[in-house]
Amino acid sequence: MIEIEIKVRADHAPVLDRILEMGALKVRTEDHLDVYYNAPHRDFAKTDEALRLRSVNGGTRMTYKGRKLDSVSKTREEFETPVDGTAAKGILVSLGFFESGIVKKTRDIYSYGDLTICFDSVDGLGEFVEVETVADSDVDLHRERLFDFLESIGIKKEDSIRTSYLEMLMEK
């Protein structure tokens, strides 16, 4: 499955007002603790990959994100599965993987048709909005649809950010 995601730095209030006027519905609020790991055999920062354990409201999911597939969004192949957080960390460390960073955030999730709109408050970075969808094909078409949606709520294509929260925190 390909996750097509566009992220922008934005104050939440005006964007939230716009999407609610359009009919978006709140799904839930989540507190995320993301622990990222790097591999002993290659540097994920250099290969543009990510491996993380995400703890959310008492559960843990392991996620692998492949290289970004274009130069304007965060579109990439993604695999995710529920895991026992303690066991998964033990397996990773035993195999030589090591912690490369931690991101803490609160995420308010909204739904608008087949789009997911996330309002992220990231510790140490501030407020962001992510719009995403998933696709098996026609990735370019879906990505342009996301940019069109953002335009409809007053956010320009050139405002998109491809840098991950982890990269932003490491640059600080």
* 132 and 3 Cβ atoms separated by less than 8 Å: yes
Give the number of other CB atoms < 10 A from CB of residue 13: 10
Q: Is 36 a catalytic residue?
A: yes
End-to-end CA distance of the chain: 32
Q: Which of these is catalytic: 36, 37, 110, 165?
A: 36
3-class secondary structure, 79: strand
d(CA 85, CA 131): 27
Q: Which residues are catalytic?
A: 36
